[in-house]
Amino acid sequence: MKIVVPVKRVIDFNVRVRVKPDQTGVEFANVKMSMNPFDEIAVEEAVRLKEAGKADEVIAVSVGVKKAEDTLRTALAMGADKAILIEATDDVETDIEPLAVAKLLKAVVEAEDAGLVICGKQAIDNDVNGTGQMLAALLGWSQGTFANTLKVEDGKAEVTREVDGGLQIVSVKLPAVITTDLRLNEPRYASLPNIMKAKKKPLEVKSASDFGVDVTPRLSVVSVNEPPARKAGVIVGSPAELADKLKNEAGVL
Amino acid sequence: MDTPERESMDYDVVIVGAGPAGLSAAIRLKQLGGDDLSVCVLEKGAEVGAHILSGAVLDPSGLDALIPDWREKGAPITTEVKEDKFLVLSEKGKMGLPTFLMPPLMSNHGAYIVSMGNVCRWLAEQAEALGVEIFPGMAASALVMGEDGGLKGVVAGEFGLSKDGTPGPNYEPGINLIGKYVLIGEGARGSLAKQLIANFGLAADSDPQKFGLGIKEIWRVKPENHHPGRVVHTMGWPLNTGDAGGGGFLYHAENNEVYVGLVVHLDYKNPYVSPYQEMQRYKHHPEIAKVLEGGERVAYGARTIAQGGWQALPKVIFPGGALIGCSAGLVNVPRIKGNHNAMHSGMAAAEAVTEAIKAGRSGDELAVYAQKLADGPVGRDLKPVRNVKPLWSRFGEIAGVALAGFDMWCANLFKFNPFGTLHHLKNDAQSTGKAADYKKIDYPKPDGVLSFDRSTNVAFSGTNHDEDEPTHLKLTDPLIPIAVNLPEYDEPAQRYCPAGVYEVIEGEDGKPRFQINGQNCVHCKACDIKDPSQNITWTVPQGGSGPTYPNM
Ligand SMILES: Cc1cc2nc3c(=O)[nH]c(=O)nc-3n(C[C@H](O)[C@H](O)[C@H](O)COP(=O)(O)OP(=O)(O)OC[C@H]3O[C@@H](n4cnc5c(N)ncnc54)[C@H](O)[C@@H]3O)c2cc1C
Ligand SMILES: Cc1cc2nc3c(=O)[nH]c(=O)nc-3n(C[C@H](O)[C@H](O)[C@H](O)COP(=O)(O)OP(=O)(O)OC[C@H]3O[C@@H](n4cnc5c(N)ncnc54)[C@H](O)[C@@H]3O)c2cc1C
Ligand code: SF4
């Protein structure tokens, strides 16, 4: 079985994201980019399945700018076998919308004859939380979202999902799309020897038009704003004082 | 702990640090040796530039020698210095020093306002195009010594230790990177350089190294306040109270950005000094505030700068390698410039290494490099200004600088220094005075507009360290902070650390306790330098941790 793992290049989670003065978007100049943390978890899970003998090949796919090659190299260093870059824009500020990404991924999944897709539950840049679900719908596959445990056996995937207020265990037929939650695993570090080896692994470069997919945005951004500044807090002296304030000042208890 | 089994990998040359020194060495090696020389560069930052912090006004002499057609190749060096102001500040006022009184070697004519972070990113692309292998996110954490006592290589890429220092579930032991020669370009107060200087006695015949702590912010300012190409250096307020020496800078770069910073000499005596707070109040001076007003702080960071100059230069060579750039300490203090010398030194070392390898040598001392450093552009740049810093330390801000100016004028006109060579008397830790002899300094509260509290600002450095990794700030004796430093110096770590890593808090037993919030560290190295008991050792945390500087 082949596993496809979509990986997105996003602003690094350590960076203080700033809104552009004209409120058309966020500032990308001089900003460090890395792999979406949920996608690292997805790569890790796929590589573990391969190491456990449950998959034959792990294919990392990224849709975006040329520089996303760096992100794919990271996936290769973590253990993916090959990578496909679909160059869909040359402007880092253009966010390819989930539906277009899902259509491109569908084409890759079909061309590679993959049996499982593991992707992040959401990208930490636009937080849409939609690509995996759209892909499952387009492919007509089962889906198991927000996975914190994944067991693949006998043509089925048992997914423990993080849902509001608890855990839900579902069993889905393969082929399927799984989306990862934070606690699914702790991704490995890319070791120096593996980074060196990754430089020699195959990385195909395609364009969106190779797949006949129109990536023109369908949504238009009206404006992007900073969250309102929080009011200064107070230091409480004791748990009792905290409880008192919550009860009598905030009125939440 | 047992040393884990590690794979080894051989290169002709292993370079530690992708700063201007390391990258220039790598590029020069490939220019001279081509495919015959294998070269790798290790960088602890998650990407090249993530840990680079400089002013910076760049004297392009180094780059001119390295890549003469850098303009055509699209180097991010476009803002030429158009105006050069030198102000002596009082609390509310200023006095401009007419440029004709400034020794000519201090002029910034022909220099550029740059982000060295971006320059290094560009240099890394040039190096990779020549076949240099650069590994960002890979810290060099230990030295690998040969049986003959020389340096053979470094350990790089160890990840996943748990809090107690034992291997965690995702442990990666890293590998030994072995080189015929190893070049150390870790910048000021390198952690491996420090060990090498001690092990080989490299500083036996030199003065103690001196440091300043530079705290810098990038501001996006209103277009009407922005004058690309304007360089402003200041002396005096807030560092004119006798508590600490240093100076400020304000560089108008591109894209409505202004780089503002204050360098505080770490030989200050009053242990109550807070370089961070000095920087915050500096921005409230009318000359600075008028530029920043209505703007927005977009990045924060701090880094020490080696200021000992020629007298403090250690021996730069040892069997198997060499110190390059600010790991040796090549900043020209009155010009506050070290990047050009970092590049010149990297090139000089590369030339010596290529010659040695071509002659079939390896693992020995690169005498040719030491010679080139002394006789070449670096020696010519540093020797004439060697008295500035000692005069500054001895006579204080204004008198010292006036004498230094006289000394530099003589060096300029008559090629001799009237004071001969003056020596640095103490290292910065030893300079710290006792709390009982000094007054507490009452710093104004930050207003949240021009000035900020430390923890708010640290968030703008993008710094982070894995929660589970062991602290990389090691105390030789864990009792000293509370037993010695607190009563004698009011534990100055609480104030000199620009990231608020060190706190004295009340423990559960009601007694003071020393807390290290290592996750906030921005890798400036001040604690390793300034702790009066010299009890803190900065070791390198796992690769990829630390600040995520943009265009610092
Ligand atoms: C990319 C990414 C995505 C994530 N996505 C998710 C997600 O989808 N769902 C999820 O659950 N988590 C997510 N997390 C994790 C989550 O953001 C944090 O890890 C988690 O919230 C930490 O909780 P904590 O209370 O242990 O953290 P802490 O940092 O210890 O606590 C944070 C809170 O406690 C308050 N606090 C701390 N000390 C004090 C004090 N002395 N007095 C009063 N208040 C105090 C702070 O003000 C703050 O509000 C994500 C993290 C990352 C990096
Ligand atoms: C506030 C300030 C203002 C300055 N202004 C100017 C100016 O205007 N003009 C000027 O010319 N100079 C200026 N300087 C001086 C200049 O920045 C230095 O001289 C220069 O950075 C030295 O270059 P370097 O390559 O030796 O070291 P650095 O630039 O410090 O680079 C060292 C690199 O090595 C990496 N590294 C360190 N240790 C390890 C390790 N163990 N493993 C892996 N990687 C490691 C670091 O992360 C870093 O990327 C300024 C310095 C400061 C602090
Ligand atoms: S802990 Fe030391 S190196 Fe880190 S920021 Fe503080 S003073 Fe600088």
- Alpha carbon of A167 to those of A145, A146, A147, A186: distances in Å? 12, 10, 10, 19
- Alpha carbon of A67 to those of A8, A14, A88, B132, B317: distances in Å? 11, 19, 12, 19, 39
CATH number at residue B181: 3.50.50.60
Given ligand 2 and candidates B53, B54, B138, B196, which is best to mutate, with the most ligand atoms within 8 Å of its CB?
B54
Encoding tokens for residue B173?
Answer: 């032991």
Q: Is residue B422 part of a domain?
A: no
Q: How many residues does chain B have?
A: 552
Let me know whether B63 and B131 are in one domain. yes
pLDDT digits (tens, 9 = 90+) for B333-381: 888 899 999 999 999 999 999 999 999 999 999 999 999 999 999 999 9
Element (H, E) at B414: helix B397-414
Let me know whether B395 and B462 are in one domain. no
pLDDT band at B106 (very low <50, low <70, confident <90, very high): low
Helices (H), B59-101: 61-66
pLDDT, averaged across chain B? 93
- Alpha carbon of B263 to those of B54, B219, B245, B323, B336: distances in Å? 11, 17, 8, 24, 10
A188: left (phi over 0), alpha (psi -120 to 50) or beta: beta
Let me know whether B482 and B533 are in one domain. yes
CATH number at residue B493: 3.30.70.20
Chain B interface includes A34 (CB < 8 A)? yes
Q: Is residue B437 part of a domain?
A: no
pLDDT digits (tens, 9 = 90+) for B129-164: 999 999 999 999 999 999 999 999 999 999 999 999
| Overall CATH class of domain A2-249 | alpha beta
Q: For residues A133 and A184, what is the distance between their CA atoms, to the nearest angstrom?
A: 18
- The pLDDT value given to residue B105: 63
Ligand 2 centroid to residue B52 C-alpha, Å: 6
- The pLDDT value given to residue A252: 84
SS3 B282: helix
Q: Is residue B257 part of a domain?
A: yes
Atom of ligand 3 nearest to the CA of B499: 5
B287, B305, B323 — which closes off a domain? B305
Q: Is residue B238 part of a domain?
A: yes
Contact B53 CB / ligand 2 (< 6 Å): yes
B460–chain A nearest CA distance, Å: 6
Interface test with A, best of B125, B171, B172 (most A CBs within 10 A): B172
Looking at residue B35, the DSSP 8-state letter turns out to be G
- The pLDDT value given to residue B410: 64
Contact of B367 with B359, CB cutoff 8 Å? no
Let me know whether B40 and B139 are in one domain. yes
Q: What percent of chain B has pLDDT over 90?
A: 84
Q: Show the ligand 3 pocket: residues with CB < 6 angstroms.
A: B 473, 497-499, 501, 521-527, 538
pLDDT digits (tens, 9 = 90+) for A131-144: 999 999 999 999 99
The answer to whether A32 contacts B115, with C-beta atoms less than 8 Å apart, is: no
Q: Give me the DSSP letters along B130-164.
A: TT-EEEET--EEEEEE-TTSSEEEEEE--EEE-TT
- Alpha carbon of B399 to those of B102, B241, B265, B269, B388: distances in Å? 15, 14, 16, 18, 11
The ligand that comes nearest to the alpha carbon of residue B526 is 3
Q: Which residues pair with B145 in a beta bridge?
A: B151
pLDDT at B98 over 70: no
The answer to whether B551 contacts A32, with C-beta atoms less than 8 Å apart, is: no
The answer to whether B460 contacts A34, with C-beta atoms less than 8 Å apart, is: no
Q: In the predicted model, what is the mean pLDDT of residues B317-332? A: 97
Q: For residues B172 and B194, what is the distance between their CA atoms, to the nearest angstrom?
A: 25
Contact of A150 with A184, CB cutoff 8 Å? yes
- The pLDDT value given to residue B100: 61
Q: Is residue B195 part of a domain?
A: yes
The answer to whether B459 contacts A193, with C-beta atoms less than 8 Å apart, is: no
Element (H, E) at B351: helix B339-358
Domains: count for chain B: 4
Higher pLDDT, B166 or B107: B166
Closest chain A residue to B176, measured at CA: A192
Q: For residues B310 and B183, what is the distance between their CA atoms, to the nearest angstrom?
A: 20
Of A14, A30, A34, the CB nearest to B118: A30
- Alpha carbon of A241 to those of A107, A186, B45, B48, B191: distances in Å? 59, 38, 43, 48, 46
Q: For residues B71 and B64, what is the distance between their CA atoms, to the nearest angstrom?
A: 10
Let me know whether B345 and B225 are in one domain. no
Higher pLDDT, B195 or A244: B195
pLDDT at B2 over 60: no
- The pLDDT value given to residue B411: 66
Let me know whether B375 and B396 are in one domain. no
Chain B interface includes A12 (CB < 8 A)? yes
Ligand 1 centroid to residue B457 C-alpha, Å: 19
Q: Which is nearest to B343 in space by CA: B1, B11, B10, B24?
A: B24
Q: In the predicted model, what is the mean pLDDT of residues B60-64? A: 97
Of B159, B459, B551, the CB nearest to A189: B159
The answer to whether B138 contacts A192, with C-beta atoms less than 8 Å apart, is: yes
Helix axis angle for B339-358 and B20-33, nearest 10°, is 30
**Is residue A78 classed exposed, middle or buried when 0-12, 13-18 and 19+ CB atoms within 10 A define those classes?**
buried
Closest chain A residue to B134, measured at CA: A196
Question: Which range marks the domain in which residue B534 is found?
Answer: 452-538
Let me know whether B134 and B23 are in one domain. yes
Q: What percent of chain B has pLDDT over 70?
A: 94
**Is residue B67 classed exposed, middle or buried when 0-12, 13-18 and 19+ CB atoms within 10 A define those classes?**
buried
Given ligand 1 and candidates A182, A231, A235, which is best to mutate, with the most ligand atoms within 8 Å of its CB?
A182
Give the ipTM of the model, two decimals please.
Answer: 0.88
Atom of ligand 1 nearest to the CA of A236: 42
B130–chain A nearest CA distance, Å: 16
Closest chain A residue to B520, measured at CA: A14
Of A188, A193, A195, the CB nearest to B7: A193
Q: Is residue B93 part of a domain?
A: yes
Contact of B237 with B274, CB cutoff 8 Å? no
Q: Give me the DSSP letters along A138-167.
A: HHT-EEEEEEEEEEEETTEEEEEEEETTEE
Q: Which residues pair with B213 in a beta bridge?
A: B264, B304
Let me know whether B158 and B224 are in one domain. no
- The pLDDT value given to residue B101: 64
pLDDT digits (tens, 9 = 90+) for B412-439: 666 677 777 778 878 999 999 999 999 9
Of B9, B50, B157, the CB nearest to A32: B50
pLDDT band at A86 (very low <50, low <70, confident <90, very high): very high
Let me know whether B235 and B293 are in one domain. yes
pLDDT digits (tens, 9 = 90+) for B218-254: 999 999 999 999 999 998 999 988 889 999 999 999 9
Domains of chain A, by residue range, sit at 2-249
Q: For residues A144 and B524, what is the distance between their CA atoms, to the nearest angstrom?
A: 46
pLDDT digits (tens, 9 = 90+) for B268-293: 999 999 999 999 999 999 999 999 99
The pTM of the full predicted model, rounded to 2 decimals, is 0.92
Chain B interface includes A195 (CB < 8 A)? yes
Q: Is residue B319 part of a domain?
A: yes
pLDDT at A88 over 80: yes
Closest chain A residue to B133, measured at CA: A196
> In three state form, how does the secondary structure of B312-343 look?
HCCCCEECCEEECHHHCCCCECCCCECHHHHH
Which residue carries 């103690």 as its tokens? B208
Let me know whether B261 and B396 are in one domain. no
- The pLDDT value given to residue B264: 97
Higher pLDDT, B21 or B401: B21
pLDDT at B495 over 80: yes
Cβ-based neighbour number of residue A223 at 10 Å: 9
The answer to whether A191 contacts B135, with C-beta atoms less than 8 Å apart, is: no
- Alpha carbon of B27 to those of B13, B20, B50, B346, B515: distances in Å? 12, 10, 20, 9, 43
A34–chain B nearest CA distance, Å: 9
Contact of B192 with B16, CB cutoff 8 Å? yes
Which amino acid, B447? D
Let me know whether B185 and B42 are in one domain. yes
Let me know whether B102 and B151 are in one domain. no
Please name the residue whose Cα sits nearest to atom 7 of ligand 3.
B497
